[in-house]
Amino acid sequence: MKMNVNIRKGTMEDADEISALYDTVNDYFEGHTNYPGWLKGIYPIREDALNGIKNGGLYVAEADGKIAGTLILSHEPEKAYHGVEWKKELTYEKVFVIYTFAVLPEYFGKGIGTKLLEAAEKAAGENGIEALRLDVLEGNTPAIKLYEKCGFEYIDTVDLGYGKYGLDAFKLYEKLI
């Protein structure tokens, strides 16, 4: 049976539920392989959701009457993105960077992530954006497989400055729109 998933922009009314989603995901990763390297209370946190909502770039995937996943689209890259040779040289007004891409563990493998990435691509096309870019911790195999399946191409591996958390190598991916 196909799951009915609705993708929409997040609102301030969603902040509590998104914050709880972040905590649920972080709690899950504390007891399992922490593929993204996220740390509860550090990233992602409620403030990330609030900023994404304020900037108009936070999207949620609703399934079964609740928020099952979320991501943030931003024009602000990490500093390390600037020293990289991307497939196409663009100003960041023409790029969406995907941040804080999270899916509730009970929805892993059910297509929520794919639908969120498809929505990001649709939003990009509607806004004259020419590329989607993102970073992913080098060992985050599930996310890397999803990104590659959805047409993202590996560009480079960089240090984003999170070494104090033991997070040194992040793979950069890009999808041209």
Are the CB atoms for 171 and 157 separated by under 8 Å? yes
- Whole-model pTM: value is 0.95
Predicted confidence (pLDDT) per residue in 3-32, tens digit: 799 999 999 999 999 999 999 999 999 999
pLDDT of 2? 61
Homologous superfamily of the 6-129 domain (CATH): Gcn5-related N-acetyltransferase (GNAT) (3.40.630.30)
Predicted confidence (pLDDT) per residue in 77-104, tens digit: 999 999 999 999 999 999 999 999 999 9
Write down the domain spans for the chain. 6-129
